[in-house]
Structure 1
Amino acid sequence: MKSILALLLVLIALPVTAASLTLELDHERKTWQTADLLTHPDAQTVRIADDVSYKHAMTYRAVPMAVLLQGLKPEHHVQAVALDGFAAELSAGPLLQSHGARAWLAVEDPAHPWPALADGKPSAGPFYLVWTDPQAGPVSPEQWPFQISSIKQLKTVAERFPALLPDPQLAADDPVNQGFTLFQKNCLACHRLNGAGDAQVGPDLNIPYNPTEYFAGDFLKRYIRDPQSLRHWPQAKMPAFAASVLPDPELDLLVGYLKHMAERKQQR
């Protein structure tokens, strides 16, 4: 056990090396190398005033996502896959914006590596999706995937994973369907539901039990607001969803979707 821990510490301490990013779009497949992105003609130095992952201001060399995703339309859908299995589902529309909340692919320079995210952990590199003026979005923390290894164009979540869908008899603007939209934005990057989804980080949120079935009263909402306040352990990965990110009315809608899906359990 000690030898394994020592090996992990050595690996963490190794210098940052160049990396590659695979971009898989319907009309194009391309692999970008670190050096190519750092010297890309559209690369800029961007300052992020309140970085979601580092919790303070950061400066990056970055390329606009709109440039890398040329050929996509706002109604298209992409997935950013991280090295640890985190799979962020992203509508192309916000990524293609050139004003307001603007998306950038930050590129870690091996000659000037970024700091570690925490003691004993690696940096957010080699590639990190960051936003300037995120408050104009609004942009949730789950839309800041880091340690990205690939970006893929896919069908929408509803098309790929029908097991996630609420009762089809509900109106499009029903609160449950609104909660489903929030689930995709805030939860699907880490969790599956009914076995459906691509994430490999957190537990399934319906099989065998839905959290609304074992969290009494308002404890589920308290858990979403501050997971460490109810379940504290050093390796916990779930972030806190503050009211500034997920306002109370949206939190109610999200929990409403989960309660609805507790009655729609199905095994894949």
Structure 2
Amino acid sequence: MRHCLALILLLSLPLHAAQLTLNLGGAERQWSTAQLLAHPQARDIRIDGDVSYKKTMHYRAVPMVALLEGVAPGDHLQAVALDGFAAELPAAPLLGNGPARAWLAIEDPAHPWPALSKGKGSAGPFYLVWTQPQAGRISPEQWPFQLATIRRLAPVASRFPALLPDPQLREDDPVNLGFAVFQKNCLACHRLNGAGDAQFGPDLNLPFNPTEYFQPAFLRRYIRNPQSLRQWPQARMPGFAETVISDAELDQLLGYLAHMASRKRSGVEVP
């Protein structure tokens, strides 16, 4: 309840009061809406097929590379939204100059963005967007909106050993490849074995793993198009097309989930 009240208060703040916190090691830095709109590298960009709005959008935005001072391509970042969505992001794509390029879109209080849907707020005040995302195979989970914080952290495998497959598996084993797919596309919303920073979706292994209660064909269908299996207007899980998760990668992801069904966190009782 406390988290919900805090979120309501944050969302009710006027846009001019919005701040983005960057914790990249060393001193923490905060950028206000006004500062970002006045950034010397800010420019107007066009996003075709915006992931959140499902249409062409125009934004005032700053290249992410201009904000990530001191971050190296091999670093790992996490972008946290107001609702608990926590996108795990390798730094290299964010630092690139193209063709896929990352931008921080800034909602101008004088020109607010539309609501994401009826009864919901906009994607602002800050939104990570991409130009030419197909060139970098950027996942929908790499478009976090309503951003509050970006921080540099240790890689997922170091922070959350409960997510790791059997260490005896080869590095190129399909299960380990599936773990990489899971980190990119699932960990922003879901925990597994209680491990992860997301506060958005259910745990994918406790008490049961989806491979334990979905027939394989229906689980594939659910991942590709959740609404084709369960029609629910309030559902927030996106579909993952073949351009985002290929059929081979989907096989690897399901292999990882099935593998982790036998590696539930010890001490957890299944009712």
Aligned residues, how many?
Answer: 259
Distance 1:110 1:252 in 2: 45
- Report whether the alignment pairs 1:41 with 2:16: no
- Report whether the alignment pairs 1:61 with 2:64: no
Quote how far apart the aligned CAs of 1:49 are. Answer: 1.3
Three-state SS of the structure 1 residue aligned to 2:250 is: helix
- Report whether the alignment pairs 1:164 with 2:146: no
Q: Which residues in structure 2 correspond to 1:140-179 (within 5 Å)?
A: 140-179=139-178
Distance 1:65 1:91 in 2: 13
Greater Cα shift, 42-51 or 85-94: 42-51
Q: Which residues in structure 2 correspond to 1:14-93 (within 5 Å)?
A: 16-93=15-92
Q: Is the 8 A contact 1:195 1:267 kept in 2?
A: no
Quote how far apart the aligned CAs of 1:201 are. Answer: 0.9
For the structure 1 residues 136 and 157, does the alpha-carbon distance in structure 2 shift closer, same or farther, using more than 3 Å as the test? same
Quote how far apart the aligned CAs of 1:246 are. Answer: 1.2
Q: Which residues in structure 2 correspond to 1:127-146 (within 5 Å)?
A: 127-146=126-145
* Per-residue Cα deviation, 1:235-261 (whole angstroms, up to 9, x for no partner): 211111112211111111111100010
Paired letter, 2:61: A
The TM-score normalised by the length of structure 2 is 0.92
The TM-score normalised by the length of structure 1 is 0.93
Paired letter, 2:54: K
Give the 4+ runs in structure 1 shifted more than 3 A.
11-18
* Per-residue Cα deviation, 1:114-133 (whole angstroms, up to 9, x for no partner): 01111111100000000011
Distance 2:20 2:108 in 1: 14
Quote how far apart the aligned CAs of 1:17 are. Answer: 4.1
Q: Which residues in structure 2 correspond to 1:218-257 (within 5 Å)?
A: 218-257=217-256
RMSD of equivalent CA atoms:
1.7
Q: Is the 8 A contact 1:175 1:253 kept in 2?
A: yes
Quote how far apart the aligned CAs of 1:59 are. Answer: 0.8
Q: Is the 8 A contact 2:15 2:33 kept in 1?
A: no
Three-state SS of the structure 1 residue aligned to 2:259 is: helix
Paired letter, 1:127: F
For the structure 1 residues 44 and 155, does the alpha-carbon distance in structure 2 shift closer, same or farther, using more than 3 Å as the test? same
Distance 2:206 2:13 in 1: 39
Q: Is the 8 A contact 1:206 1:261 kept in 2?
A: yes
Distance 1:12 1:106 in 2: 17
Distance 2:146 2:43 in 1: 20
Distance 2:173 2:246 in 1: 18
For the structure 1 residues 267 and 146, does the alpha-carbon distance in structure 2 shift closer, same or farther, using more than 3 Å as the test? farther
Structure 1 residue aligned with 2:3: none
The answer for unaligned runs of 5 or more in structure 2 is 1-7
Quote how far apart the aligned CAs of 1:12 are. Answer: 8.4
The answer for unaligned runs of 5 or more in structure 1 is 1-7
Quote how far apart the aligned CAs of 1:18 are. Answer: 3.5
